[in-house]
Structure 1
Amino acid sequence: MKTKQPTYLFIVGLHVLLALAIYLLPFLSKIYGLLLPLLGTVLLVNTQNKNNEALFLAAYAIGSEVLLRMTEGNFSHEQTKYLVIYFLLFGAYYTGVSKKSFIYIVFLLLLIPGIIIGANVLGEATNIRKAIVFNILGEVTLFVSAFYCYQRSVSQLHVEYILKAMALPIVSLLTYLFLYTPSVRDVITGTQSNFETSGGFGPNQVSTVLGLGMFCFFALLVLYSKTKKLQLLHLFLLIVASFRGIVTFSRGGVFTAVAMMAAFILVLYWFATAKAKNLIVVLSLSAFILGGFVWTYSIIQTDGMIENRYANKDARGREKTDRLGGRETIAKTELQMFKDNPVWGIGVGKNKEYREEMTGIVAASHNEITRLLAEHGMFGIAALLILGITPLFLYLGNKQNLFVVPFLIFWLLTINHAAMRLAAPAFVYALALLKVQFVDDTTTVPRESAK
């Protein structure tokens, strides 16, 4: 299973053309959204998941989620979460899962009391099914992803394919953003999150996926660019993703990407030889200088507004009292809910109603940690402990997965500012559970059987 580089470059070009086609003929987005499960099913049936094709399909779905939502190509708002669940369960049907992954069954069972309570306490005006699904589907996606990935053997080549699969739809997203807003300067009027530079969609979600794209392009540049063409391509995509991520004026995705890249460099440095460490130092300095140029260009294009945004100032340069756009108020109410109901929690989906009763604020949670505490009580704490400890414990036995720390950083930081709105944090978390093996590129990874 060896991909020729010209083929990869050709596929990148196709994703640029895909964005152009969707921009000119919006109905094509529906066709694109329909083809993902259809072609994915055909691929899995034909390959029987012998090379973990389910992982590549799920990764591709992750990269395409925001583009499909932005262009209304989804047949369901949560289509990507359902797709990830479908692809991975289908893949597991062919190649099994590790019996040791039972710990994530415990994680899932810990969520059941909160679901039962939520179904019984939600108000009559609330659509109970939608409220529960909205709040629990992210955790179910994480469970299925973790269940599939737990100690699953993959090669470095497969890691490369996973990164490319996530990155390719983000190429389409970047192209679409430039078509939607070719001139950033013309649409910047203040320091608030900007929908115009985000393709008319939620800046927080766009920033999150662009941040993931920044890391994918960076990792591909550092580890998987064997020719000058690929180096220049991934460098260009990294620069473009960084700029467009910054000018969404939503800081979460950019901060997360920077943290991931910094952690990745540190991990590489820790395991590198003396000669390689010198190259990593040069790489780090180059990345710092490149980031400075992108930041300076962003300041110029936004007439200094972006500098005020990151300094937590308004358009006139005055300090804002609210540093997190109201998220800290929402988190505080959820912590209060936990204090009031520390054992069982208030029930899944109830936090929005409860917050409105407490403060008059009508808003969904932005922080998955405080939401788990509020809605699941002590069971939420136990669930979080499983999520936090398990990948670190596995890492002690398999340090060949260089991406464990960056992937966990993405999960942890993302759920703190964007909850589980997207499927990305659930799936990327699970990638930290993979057992990465250094094998020859032509070697087929053995079929994973139940252990």
Structure 2
Amino acid sequence: MGILGNGFSRQSLIYVIYILLLIPGIFVAVTEMGFETNIRKAIAFNLSGPVSLGVAAIFCYRRTVTMNQMKIILWAFLLPLVSTTTYLFLYTPDLREVITSTGSNFAASGGFGPNQMASVLGIGIFVLAVRFFLSKEGIVHKGFDLFLLGLLAFRALATFSRGGVITGVVMILSFLGLYYLKGNLKTKFRIKFLSLVFSGAIIFIWLMSSLQTSGLLDKRYANQDAAGREKADVTTGRSDLLAQEFSEFMDHPFLGVGVGKIKEIRLNETGIAAASHNEMSRIVAEHGLFGLFAFAILLITPLIYRIGNRQNLFFFSFYFFWLLTVNHSAMRIAAPGFIYALSLLNITYKTKPTKKQELKPVS
């Protein structure tokens, strides 16, 4: 609706090309998939995320918003995540009953995928951190933001899915790095002071989470099992999926194996019906060179745009969220694509003139 009502930049046609590059893989899938596979469902499942990313990117590319509008967007992110966190506390009020190992925990994730739950809670943690550092409200408001952040961080850690939490941390560090570089001396001093307070809160949250999980949280992030033995594979099987998908790309370099076909191949070869965790390896395996060019467009276009436009204070936070999330959780949720598109926005920091500024001197 936004594209139809407000149009889009001509430069965003690069993302139209990206979407078109995904089409050949559909025809390959139709001709190659087995009769037992629901082709329509397989295509929709694997392309809904990449196509939604393309549409969002077309709309957002070089579009200008104000800083206040961006704050409203971030606030809109946060509200449903507070509701989600409330649901998690109601679903599993006592974590000690359900956390008995160092594996990702569905019960602590409200019955949803721990990877996806940790990813969206990581967004909430980032938004609250941004509010904490940018808000000029008093100590009560900042304290409330830290309290909410503590609740979201506690439940994110309780999923025992590391990817979403680590991604949230990278987003916060990226934001603070840009904010510090752009700030004046007064702003830099303020960031340093607030960082000390923020770091203290994070340490407290970690200690409380560790106590509530009987120390299993520390073992999880140290890549150990419940007995304290180090696990052989820190990627929990993702490296095997990655290797297989790159192997299929080498065997089918031009058109790939077809949309959704990689899951069928994996089932036939290993007997395991596992979907890919990595969007980069999946897109090249299923689309071949077309997928390689499509992913290159996603990877490079924002960086080129960033060279000429450095107004988006959240650019690297949004960009890294997309890049890290699609490499540990693929595009099973819409968040990576939508947030990727936000990195393509141009943000203005102009404020409305005050009444004193509006008054012109009488000649």
Q: Decide: shared fold, TM above 0.5.
A: yes
Whether contact under 8 Å (1:163, 1:220) holds in the other structure is no
Partner of 1:21: none
1:361–1:280 CA distance, 2 compared to 1 (3 A): same
Q: How does 1:42-61 map to 2 (within 5 A)?
A: none
1:263 is aligned to 174
C-alpha distance in 1 between matches for 2:117 and 2:142: 25
- Equivalent residue, structure 1, for 2:231: 320
Q: Indicate conservation of the 8 Å contact 1:330/1:365, yes or no.
A: yes
Matching residue's letter, 2:260: G
**Rounded Cα–Cα distance in structure 2 between residues aligned with 1:442 and 1:423:** 38
Q: Deviations over 1:167-209 (max 9, x none)?
A: 1000100111111112222322111111221112211111111
In structure 2, what is the Cα distance between the partners aligned to 1:167 and 1:407?
A: 15
Contact 1:119 1:132 in 2 (8 A): no
Question: What amino acid is the match of 2:279?
Answer: E
Given the alignment, which residue of 413, 425, 439 partners 2:350? 439
| CA distance in structure 1 between the partners assigned to 2:332 and 2:112 by the alignment | 13
Query: Partners in 1 of 2:192 and 2:116 — Cα distance?
Result: 32
Partner of 2:117: 206
Q: 1:301 aligns with which of 205, 209, 212?
A: 212
Q: Deviations over 1:312-360 (max 9, x none)?
A: 1111111111222211111111011111111211111100011223333
Q: State the match for 2:271 in structure 1.
A: 360
Q: Separation in 2 of the partners of 1:244 and 1:180?
A: 11
Match for 1:397 among 285, 289, 308? 308
Superposition TM-score, scaled by structure 1 size: 0.76
User: Is the deviation greater in 194-203 or in 155-164?
Assistant: 194-203
Residue from 36, 39, 46 that aligns with 1:125: 36
Matched, 1:380 2:319: no
Query: 8 Å contact 1:157–1:441 — kept in the other structure?
Result: no
Q: Which has the larger radius of gyration?
A: 2
Q: Deviations over 1:382-419 (max 9, x none)?
A: 11111111111212222121000000110011001110
Aligned to 2:359: none
In the alignment, the residues of structure 2 paired with residue 339 and residue 274 of structure 1 have an alpha-carbon distance, to the nearest angstrom, of 53
Q: Distance in 2 between matches of 1:394 and 1:293?
A: 39
Residue 110 in 1 paired to residue 21 in 2? yes
1:282 Cα deviation (Å)? 2.3
Contact 1:221 1:234 in 2 (8 A): yes
Cα deviation for residue 225 of structure 1 reads 5.0
Would the aligned equivalents of 1:398 and 1:436 in 2 still touch at CA under 8 Å?
no
Is 1:191 aligned to 2:191, yes or no?
A: no
Cross-structure match for 1:279: 190
Measure, in 1, the Cα distance between the counterparts of 2:230 and 2:78.
Answer: 37
Residue of structure 2 equivalent to 1:240: 151
Deviation per residue, 1:15-61 (Å, 9 max, x gap): xxxxxxxxxxxxxxxxxxxxxxxxxxxxxxxxxxxxxxxxxxxxxxx
CA apart distance, 1:421: 0.3
Aligned to 1:147: 58
Q: Which of 88, 91, 99 is the equivalent residue of 1:177?
A: 88
**Distance across 2 between alignment mates of 1:336 and 1:361:** 17
Cα distance, 1:283 vs. partner?
A: 2.6
Query: Which whole-Å CA distance do the structure 2 matches of 1:163 and 1:441 have between them?
Result: 21
CA contact (8 A) 1:407 1:428 kept: yes
Distance 1:120 1:288, change over 3 A: same
Alpha-carbon deviation of 1:228?
3.7
**Whole-Å Cα distance in 1 between the matches of residues 71 and 168 of structure 2?**
18
Residue equivalent to 1:82: none
Question: Are 1:333 and 2:244 counterparts?
Answer: yes
The one-letter code sitting in structure 1 at the alignment partner of 2:106 is F
SS of residue paired to 2:85:
helix
SS in 2 for 1:345: coil
> In 1, distance between residues paired with 2:310 and 2:322?
19
TM-score calculated relative to the size of structure 2? 0.94
Aligned mates of 2:239, 2:152 — CA distance in 1: 28
Aligned to 2:22, the other structure's residue is in SS state helix
Contact 2:133 2:191 (8 Å CA) reproduced: no
Contact 1:160 1:224 in 2 (8 A): no
**Which residue identity does 2:342 align to in structure 1?**
L
Secondary structure of 1:417 counterpart: coil
The Cα shift of 1:160 comes to 0.3
Given the superposition, is the C-alpha separation of residues 359 and 225 from structure 1 closer, same or farther in structure 2, using an over 3 Å criterion?
A: farther
Q: What are structure 2's unaligned runs of at least 5 residues?
A: 355-363
Paired residue type of 1:423: A
In structure 2, how many angstroms separate the alpha carbons of the residues matched to 1:419 and 1:217?
A: 25
Give per-residue Cα distances to partners, 1:111-142, cap 9 Å, x unaligned: 11111111211110000000011011101100
Residues 225, 249 of structure 1: alpha-carbon distance in 2 compared, 3 angstrom cutoff: farther
Counterpart mapping for 1:247-258 below 5 A:
247-258=158-169
Identity, % of aligned positions: 49
Q: Which residue of 2 aligns with 1:37?
A: none
**TM-superposed deviation, 1:262:** 1.0
Distance of 1:225 and 1:337 partners within structure 2: 53
The 1:346/1:225 distance shift into structure 2, 3 A limit, reads farther
Instruction: Summarize the Cα distance change of 1:227–1:357 in structure 2 as closer, same or farther, 3 Å threshold.
Output: same
RMSD: 1.5
Q: 2:329 aligns with which of 414, 418, 424?
A: 418
TM-superposed CA distance for 1:441, in Å, is 5.6
Change (3 A) 1:123 1:178: same
1:230 aligns with 2:141: yes
Indicate the larger mover: 381-390 or 432-441. 432-441
